[in-house]
A and B are shown apart, each in its own frame.
Chain A
Amino acid sequence: MIDLRAITRTVRLPDDRMLHILRGVDLTVATGEHVAVVGRSGTGKSTLLNLLGLLDAPTDGEYLLEGVPVSRLSNRARTLRRGADFGFVFQQFNLLPGRTVLENVVAPLMYAKGREFWRRRTLAAQMLDRVGLGDRLDAMPERLSGGEQQRIAIARALVRGPRVILADEPTGALDVQTGQVVMDLLDSVAAETGAALVTITHDLSVAARAQRVYRLADGVLVPLDLGTAGAEWVGDVPTAVGAAARPRELAPPVPREPAHREPAEPAAPAPDQQPAARHDGGERR
């Protein structure tokens, strides 16, 4: 579905020097696949995600979306495809201030057409119910816990039925346990909808859920085998990996079958079966 070929991204700094953020990145993501990209801060992970989500354009190279070069699409066409095909989950949730939980999830549907637009509140309520927030429709997000806020963000990312979910540090602002619950949810909903999931993370336990893991270093994307390179990698990311979580983070990735996949962490209950409040570290209201 996604095919990046020798993508580079370069920006000119204020002192006229060129900063090479991405250097010849090749990446393919198939429908329903889960891919993780790990790397230190400042290595270009978010830039790669922005390119994938059509928020940014490469300096060089070719980006094929379902076989069509993205460079041939007009700005408007790119924007419309972004709305229809991509769902974004951000580290800081990026919920719209002043809006209720329901209004936040309705927001992407405001740019949809036809039945999707006119049934927006029903669709949003159904999606919130699916992520375990069916009883929080009229709550204000800022009064909910971080885990609940991220679940709102996930519902919002999925409400238009995207074909690709782009998650930028989805657990970065959450504690370990809540992060696992959120990732369980993201994995299960992505699997149910058959959407591809591209996760950018510092957290190896999050990366370990993916079928393929890549490491981005100095703008170069290389495959990473967590089973063999884990110890070296842990040394690279001292803050994101807690000692207690380390053995599991280094476990080999769980094979993932789109749409019929078992949860990545069998020990963790599915979100639909577990009230979120028990896993989110409590509510702040």
Chain B
Amino acid sequence: MSGFVGAVLEAWDELRIHKVRVLLSLIGVAVAVTAITGVTAAVAMLKQGFAEQADRYNGRPVTLMVNAYSSTGPATSAAQTATYDAAYQQALARYSITWASRTQQTMAPFRFPQGTQTVPINAVDPAYGAIYRTRVIEGRWFTPEDEKAFAPVLVVNQAFLTQLGVADLRSHPTVQLGDAVTATIIGVQPEQWSGESPTAFVLYDQLTHWYQVDPTMGQALPTLAMWVPTDQVDGLSSHLVRDMKAAVPGLQVDVQDNRTWGGGELDSATKWIGLGVGGFALLLGGLGLVNISLTTVRYRIREIGIRRSFGATSGRVFFGVMMESVVATVVAGLAGVVLAVVLLKNLPIDRVFGGGLQDIPPFPVSAALVGMAAATGVGALAGIIPALVAVRVKVIDAIRY
């Protein structure tokens, strides 16, 4: 016990006395640990970024999409639409599906200062925003309360707003939909590419209430998007096909899920390259530490000899020199991890991920553990060589050194 405590105290004393040298030698290790910890955490964020990007196109995993269409002929009747909608509501209730949205892509005329223009619109339910991670840069997305509004509300893209000649939502801008309906703009989506045309989201129920959709301008029946638990996908798919077919006989019904669509996984090569860069930085930091430790041990040969004359066994000298390295790198590792946390917490996520992450992952504990383990490992490895040199010194030569 006293031997171990003595060795640790000696190591700490050595670090305390040679603060500047230790600090210089450990900067490399701390930076390397910051790199490896930061890269590990950044990989987690990148993974989340990729997943969210995929969710915006495909819906969150797992999203089922039910489509019904007539395989034989023209558009569906109003009665079929109503029956289809009722079956959809029943399915939601029967299978306790809480996150679901009808999605109907169509066109509608809006009156802009330059004149009326037909604009692609997407009629959805409020849950669509959560399922597809829709982003708004100003205002807000739809809420269930909006469905009860006395006039339709819109979430438009930046191009729509620009076409309307409005800079922002402070004036609560409105736009005329069709001939007589005035819609209020409550949210603005970011531009996805330059030169984008005006588009708008509208609530499905409001659209059908306030505007007579031309079935030739888009989907006759809405796609039904349902965000469901992964373990229920297969059972639900077959049940939904069966139920919807039974509700609207004569229509073809199919269900797709987004499990196999991909796009949300971080390329494993990217992951390994990131970790490789961090590992290489750590290797360089470790080599720097070995170099300085070796120089220091040679500088301390006389001191080691004196300690041997006090009765320091070779095992104790070996352990002591190695402990110096380990204690130092553990401290450096801690500093490196803290630095990585600070850097990542202050990362301009909007800039890095082009619009930011909705669900920013917490700093991964695994990254901190990887950093600390790497630092300790490097300390032990970097300590072995100088420790061997220290042990091989002949006491009488060392005292005269």
Contact A55 B6, beta carbon cutoff 8 Å: no
Report if A97-B309 is in contact (Cβ < 8 Å); known contacts: A55-B396, A75-B314, A79-B314.
Answer: no
Q: Which single residue of chain B is at the shortest CB-CB distance from A120? A: B6
Contact A83 B396, beta carbon cutoff 8 Å: no
Docked pose: A83 CA to B5 CA in angstroms: 18
Q: Which single residue of chain B is at the shortest CB-CB distance from A99? A: B17
Contact B2 A112, beta carbon cutoff 8 Å: yes
Q: Scoring B residues 289 to 311 as 1 if CB is less than 8 Å from chain A, else 0, what string do you get? A: 00000000000001100111111
Contact A79 B313, beta carbon cutoff 8 Å: yes
Docked pose: A96 CA to B399 CA in angstroms: 11
Which B residues are CB-close (under 8 A) to A55?
Answer: 308-309, 395-396, 399
Q: Which single residue of chain A is at the shortest CB-CB distance from B7? A: A110
Docked pose: A60 CA to B302 CA in angstroms: 28
Q: Does A122 contact B (CB under 8 A)?
A: no
Contact B396 A88, beta carbon cutoff 8 Å: no
Give the Cβ gap from A56 to chain B, nearest Cβ, in Å. Answer: 5
Contact A94 B2, beta carbon cutoff 8 Å: no
Docked pose: A94 CA to B399 CA in angstroms: 8
Q: Does B10 contact A (CB under 8 A)?
A: yes
Q: Does B315 contact A (CB under 8 A)?
A: yes
Within 8 A of B (CB), among A107-122: 107-108, 110-114, 117-118
Contact A110 B9, beta carbon cutoff 8 Å: yes
Give the Cβ gap from A65 to chain B, nearest Cβ, in Å. Answer: 14
Docked pose: A99 CA to B310 CA in angstroms: 16
Give the Cβ gap from A167 to chain B, nearest Cβ, in Å. Answer: 13
Q: Scoring A residues 77 to 110 as 1 if CB is less than 8 Å from chain B, else 0, what string do you get? A: 0011011101010100010111100010001101
Q: Does B271 contact A (CB under 8 A)?
A: no
Contact A80 B311, beta carbon cutoff 8 Å: yes
Give the Cβ gap from B397 to chain A, nearest Cβ, in Å. Answer: 10
Q: Scoring B residues 237 to 269 as 1 if CB is less than 8 Å from chain A, else 0, what string do you get? A: 000000000000000000000000000000000
Q: Does A126 contact B (CB under 8 A)?
A: no
Contact B2 A80, beta carbon cutoff 8 Å: no
Which B residues are CB-close (under 8 A) to A160?
Answer: 311
Contact B396 A56, beta carbon cutoff 8 Å: yes
Report if A80-B313 is in contact (Cβ < 8 Å); known contacts: A98-B17, A98-B18, A117-B6.
Answer: yes
Within 8 A of B (CB), among A150-208: 160
Report if A96-B10 is in contact (Cβ < 8 Å); known contacts: A56-B396, A88-B309.
Answer: no
Contact B396 A107, beta carbon cutoff 8 Å: no
Contact B2 A76, beta carbon cutoff 8 Å: no
Q: Does A211 contact B (CB under 8 A)?
A: no
Report if A111-B13 is in contact (Cβ < 8 Å); known contacts: A55-B395, A56-B396, A117-B6.
Answer: no
Q: Scoring B residues 1 to 34 as 1 if CB is less than 8 Å from chain A, else 0, what string do you get? A: 0110110011001000110000000000000000
Docked pose: A86 CA to B303 CA in angstroms: 18
A-B complex: 7 closest residue pairs judged by Cβ atoms: A83-B311, A117-B2, A108-B310, A98-B17, A111-B311, A110-B6, A79-B313
List 8 additional contacts besides A76-B315, A117-B2, A160-B311; criterion CB under 8 Å: A53-B309, A55-B309, A76-B313, A79-B308, A97-B303, A111-B310, A111-B311, A118-B2
17 contacts between A and B (CB under 8 A): A50-B396, A56-B395, A79-B311, A80-B311, A83-B310, A83-B312, A90-B399, A97-B303, A98-B18, A99-B17, A107-B307, A110-B310, A113-B2, A113-B3, A114-B2, A117-B5, A118-B2
